[in-house]
Structure 1
Amino acid sequence: MDNRTFAFIKTDKKLVKIFFKDIIVIKGLGNYVEINTTFNKKYIYYKALKDLIESLPEEFMRVHHSYIVNLTNIEYFEDNQLVCEDHKIAVAKSYKECLTTALNTMML
């Protein structure tokens, strides 16, 4: 994968540029996703979560059937809950070990 720092998504009939670092959490809504970014912006994008994760950089991780988080925007992880800005996300058992491993590689 190339080292792009952004991507374009089609939302509301326009192409919008989103920087990966600004994405906090992506929530699956069936065939659509809701991309939550910094500055409390939300974008609805027509793409399934499972297809989207394949085209995101490695700092993005699926932590639940319905959620992908940007690991660089996690504030803390406690009791199977991730907190990223105003978002509290439950971490599914099946994703917990993978998440813990990823976070351990980032520890001081």
Structure 2
Amino acid sequence: MKNRTFAFIKTDKKLIKVFYDEVTVIKGLGNYVEVHTTNHKRYIYYKTLKDLIENLPDEFMRVHHSYIVNLTTIDSFEDNQLICGDLKITVAKSYKECLNNALSKMML
């Protein structure tokens, strides 16, 4: 099960299959997270960002105390702002160098 392309999340008393390549941003809301997808759906479920980041594939990176992004869904990155679809996310100083290194490996 190491090479899974999806995960199930429990929201609204049901299990929903979410494919990793459809997840754009995961926003922390205390002990809950809000998962944003490429088809503009949002799911809220009980999990902390700290617990979640350990179980996500390598293309996911924490860029702020409250945000995890899917590196493959980043549209642009300028100064300290990431654009993922219709979301603007500020990158924290402590995560900026690591993000730059990851993005430089994806450059032509």
Residue 41 of structure 1 is matched in structure 2 by 41
How far 1:98 sits from its partner (Å)? 0.2
Query: In the alignment, does 2:91 pair up with 1:98?
Result: no
Residue 4 of structure 2 is matched in structure 1 by 4
Identity of aligned residues (%): 75
Secondary structure of the equivalent of 1:39?
coil
What amino acid does structure 2 have at the position aligned with 1:93? K
Partners in 1 of 2:99 and 2:45 — Cα distance? 25
1:31-76 residue CA offsets vs partner (Å, 9 max, x unmatched): 0000000111000010000100000000000000000000000001
Partners in 1 of 2:60 and 2:18 — Cα distance? 14
Partners in 1 of 2:63 and 2:94 — Cα distance? 8
Residue 76 of structure 2 is matched in structure 1 by 76
Report the number of matched residues.
108
What amino acid does structure 2 have at the position aligned with 1:57? P
What amino acid does structure 1 have at the position aligned with 2:25? V
Moved over 6 A (4+): none
How far 1:79 sits from its partner (Å)? 1.1
What amino acid does structure 2 have at the position aligned with 1:10? K
What amino acid does structure 1 have at the position aligned with 2:23? I
Residue 13 of structure 2 is matched in structure 1 by 13
How far 1:3 sits from its partner (Å)? 0.7
TM-score (norm 1): 0.98
Give unmatched runs, 5+ long, in structure 2: none
Cα-Cα RMSD: 0.8
TM-score (norm 2): 0.98
Partners in 1 of 2:11 and 2:57 — Cα distance? 21
